[in-house]
Amino acid sequence: MSEKFLIVGLGNYEQKYLGNRHNVGFMVVDQICRDNFIQLTFKEKFKGEFAECTLFGTQVILLKPHTYMNLSGKSVAPLAKFHNISVGNIIVIHDELDFHLGKVQSKFGGGLAGHNGLKSIHEDTGSKDFHRIRVGIGRPAVKEEVVRHVLSNFKPEEKKKLEEEIFPATFEALEEIIKKNS
Vertex 140: Cα angle to 136 and 145 (nearest 5): 125
Spatial separation of the C-alpha atoms in residues 116 and 119, rounded to whole Å: 5
Catalytic positions: 22
Rg (CA), the chain: 15
- Residue pair 87/130 in contact by the 8 Å Cβ criterion: yes
Dmax over Cα atoms in the chain, in whole Å? 50
Q: Which H or E element spans position 42? A: strand 41-43
CA atoms within 13 A on the CB side of 35: 13
User: 68 Cβ partners below 8 Å, 6+ apart?
Assistant: 12, 13
DSSP symbol at 20: B
CA distance 52 to 61: 4
